[in-house]
Amino acid sequence: MATIRDVAKRAGVSVATVSRALNDKGYVHEDTRKLIHDAIQQLNYRPNEVARSLYNKKSRLIGLLLPDIRNPFFPELARGVEDEIQAHDFRLMIGNADEKPEKESEYVHTFKQNHVTGIISATSNKDISFYDELSFPVVFLDRTTDQHPSVYADGVDGGKMAVRELVRRGSKRITLLRGPVELKTAQDRFKGAIDEICTLNVEFNVMNTSSFAFEDAEESARELFERYPDTDGIIASNDIVAAAILHEALRTGKGIPEDLQIIGFDDIPLSKLLYPSLSTIRQPAYEMGREAAGLLIKMIQGKAVEQKNIKLPVTFIERQTTRKDGNNG
Amino acid sequence: MATIRDVAKRAGVSVATVSRALNDKGYVHEDTRKLIHDAIQQLNYRPNEVARSLYNKKSRLIGLLLPDIRNPFFPELARGVEDEIQAHDFRLMIGNADEKPEKESEYVHTFKQNHVTGIISATSNKDISFYDELSFPVVFLDRTTDQHPSVYADGVDGGKMAVRELVRRGSKRITLLRGPVELKTAQDRFKGAIDEICTLNVEFNVMNTSSFAFEDAEESARELFERYPDTDGIIASNDIVAAAILHEALRTGKGIPEDLQIIGFDDIPLSKLLYPSLSTIRQPAYEMGREAAGLLIKMIQGKAVEQKNIKLPVTFIERQTTRKDGNNG
DNA sequence: TTGAAAGCGCTACCAA
DNA sequence: TTGGTAGCGCTTTCAA
């Protein structure tokens, strides 16, 4: 690996001049600049980012912390972050907290020790003290905090929307799956749904689901039909849970959507591939990722940020687990 | 952030001594060690990894390069890598190449520039010249190369297995989906299947699918049934494609598994949630990740590695898209 | 417009 | 057993 010294020697100038040319800081004569440029080409030189960040105490690295890389919603989020970041010539470093606070804290440490210039955190941990004493900006993604910059989807509206669509299509006894209590986004959806249910004055019941993960989804589904066999409309806490419920419903011979309508949340890629394909409240994951990255980069660049809490709209994606509008059962 | 100087001052020793204590190298008196330890505690000191790696030219970071973070198979792989790596006190940095050689090369660069101590690459790019001039070890994952250390699942056997299971359960006209030609793993499965089909002398036809991605899967499924409406056994190139085919089959009213059997490849979490749930050839993704990480760490530690190309077995997971054994149609 | 030199935080050599 | 110090590759004063 060539160093800045090699370039300087080859170009017949000092390292200081090369550095200035490299960073477009201070004066460099046009001819000198050309000399340096050629030397860089010949040696295929790339500055050592570690040395750079030792001095600058920051790099062009951005850290992204995901709560669970196995939930398809998050890779989608990551793709958005990645594209926006790359467009601004930053680099991404992804960490997977695996829903464990220790891992989260470890990653934040790794990020810090590698002098990342900012962090985007999509974890679901309530305790955000990890982030408080950091010397660089942090954006929270898929999460609502008033104290910190954040990007999230309108869960409350999503919950309401799900209820409205279900009721409009004829469901009379709705079952609400309440996602993890510690998860604010899940609770927003839940609250929105409850709210709308009260407004519309529909019969309903609630079931608690412990997590969003695949393993737990099956269990919840089974339990649901035991407890509420006569429900005719289910709002799942996310698409994975919805898929499990759909599976269980079909297994026990229910007609979907004639006997039972199901609405998920997220619109992960698999939802379309289910049969019948899953109607769901779509979160614009990719866009959320891009927004978060855009916000962070603005903060890094010291630009004034007008809107620090960005709420993105959700949309109802009509597929086959809900009936046609007007066809009220 | 406290530095090693602060610790030295507080402990009343030199930075050299602190460094020695920190790294357990050279002599440090037990009492001194204690003094230093206390100072570290009080200052909440953590060594600056950037400075460390500037000198050492390596860090405790390992880079993992994924071809497509949105394909659920890869997050699973990543989890295995992560667990093994963390057990050895290394840190993980994930990159998503998004099936693009430029991105792959960029990530390798970022890894290199951040002085990672090794790379695990699961990308599907044939051109591995990126990795050739690296000064640290590289392990290829989910990919077969003779020249480089690698960990992969036995695709050839998987292909054969799929054919055997289908034929044993009564399929007479098998359709083989051939995954991306440039993907060696996909071709291994394909070759294995062809091989077994010839041995068993069954009627068959082949369809090319362009990619493993969600978007393309639907298209392939539709085309398949147009071209080969009377096929009674399909071996998909992976579970995503299988899910799309299952969807299309159900949509067009085929009886699964009575009229048509389907076998996927991978066993991603969603396969179990499909209805009917998907029979598939399971790749032990998590274990593959662990093996790859284990191999890399051994190489990093300079230990002798007996087996540089680790092939893991695949297994047939019997679910509901195949008939019961002996029930031959 | 350029270069010498200090220093970012750490490790390792050598001398004490 | 300990400490002084050079140096990893870079950036940034400050003087020329």
- List the B132 CA – D9 C1' distance (angstroms): 24
How distant is the Cα of B169 from the closest Cα of chain A, in angstroms? 22
Give residues 41-100 of chain A lying near strand D (Cβ < 7 A). Answer: 47-48, 51-52, 54-56
Rounded-to-integer distance, Cα A211 and Cα A219, Å? 11
Residues of chain A with pLDDT under 50: 329
- List the B162 CA – D9 C1' distance (angstroms): 55
CA angle B135, B139, B140 (to 5 degrees): 130
* pLDDT value, residue B126: 81
- Which pLDDT band holds residue B146 (cuts at 50, 70, 90)? confident
- List the B257 CA – C2 C1' distance (angstroms): 79
**What are the start-end ranges of the E strands in A59-216?**
61-66, 91-96, 119-121, 138-141, 150-153, 173-178, 203-208
- List the A49 CA – C2 C1' distance (angstroms): 25
Residues B231-235 have a mean pLDDT of 97
B228 CB neighbour count, 10 Å cutoff = 17
B26 CB-to-strand D distance under 7 Å: yes
Cα distance between the two ends of chain B: 71
**A106 contacts on B by Cβ (under 8 Å):** 86, 91
- Which pLDDT band holds residue B208 (cuts at 50, 70, 90)? confident
Give residues 187-246 of chain A lying near strand C (Cβ < 7 A). Answer: none
Residues B195-218 have a mean pLDDT of 87
* pLDDT value, residue A326: 62
- Which tens digits make up the pLDDT trace of B303-316? 878 778 999 999 99
Percent of chain B with pLDDT over 70: 98
Answer whether B273 sits within 8 Å of A92, measured CB to CB: no
* pLDDT value, residue A214: 74
Nucleotide D5: closest residue by CA–C1': B16
Chain C positions with an atom below 7 A of a protein C-beta are: 1-5, 7-14
* pLDDT value, residue A154: 97
Answer whether A110 sits within 8 Å of B48, measured CB to CB: no
User: Would you state the structure tokens that stand for residue A243, as one six-digit string?
Assistant: 């898929």
Please give the domain boundaries of chain B with CATH numbers for all domains: 4-47 (1.10.260.40), 61-153+285-312 (3.40.50.2300), 155-283 (3.40.50.2300)
* pLDDT value, residue B219: 82
B15 CB-to-strand C distance under 7 Å: yes
* pLDDT value, residue A9: 94
* pLDDT value, residue B304: 78
Rounded to whole angstroms, the maximal C-alpha distance in chain A is 84
User: Amino acid identity of A161?
Assistant: M
Residues A45, A39 contacting (CB under 8 angstroms): yes
Please state whether beta strands B315-317 and B280-282 pair in parallel, antiparallel, or not at all (unpaired). antiparallel
Q: Which of B19, B15, B48, B21 is nearest to B33 (CA)?
A: B21
- Which pLDDT band holds residue B132 (cuts at 50, 70, 90)? confident
- Which pLDDT band holds residue B226 (cuts at 50, 70, 90)? very high
**A251 contacts on B by Cβ (under 8 Å):** 275
* pLDDT value, residue A228: 94
- List the B78 CA – D7 C1' distance (angstroms): 38
Residues B5-17 have a mean pLDDT of 95
* pLDDT value, residue B326: 62
Of the candidates B61, B95, B113, which has its C-beta nearest A49's C-beta? Answer: B113
Of the candidates A114, A115, A243, which has its C-beta nearest B270's C-beta? Answer: A243
- Which pLDDT band holds residue B322 (cuts at 50, 70, 90)? very high
Distances (CA, A) of B133 to B97, B130, B137, B157: 19, 7, 10, 34
Phi, psi angles (nearest 5°) of residue B93: -130, 115
User: Would you state the structure tokens that stand for residue B290, as one six-digit string?
Assistant: 């662990």
B59 CB-to-strand D distance under 7 Å: no
Rounded-to-integer distance, Cα B291 and Cα B277, Å? 29
The answer to whether the peptide bond before residue B276 is cis (omega within 30 degrees of 0) is: yes
Residues B120, B62 contacting (CB under 8 angstroms): yes
- Which pLDDT band holds residue B74 (cuts at 50, 70, 90)? very high
* pLDDT value, residue A279: 98
Rounded-to-integer distance, Cα A317 and Cα A239, Å? 12
B29 CB-to-strand C distance under 7 Å: no
**A86 contacts on B by Cβ (under 8 Å):** 103, 106
Report which of residues B143 and A21 the model is more confident about: A21
- Which pLDDT band holds residue B141 (cuts at 50, 70, 90)? very high
Of the candidates B78, B92, B243, which has its C-beta nearest A273's C-beta? Answer: B243
Residues B316, B281 contacting (CB under 8 angstroms): yes
* pLDDT value, residue B194: 97
User: In the complex, which nucleotide's C1' lies nearest to the CA atom of residue A55?
Assistant: C8
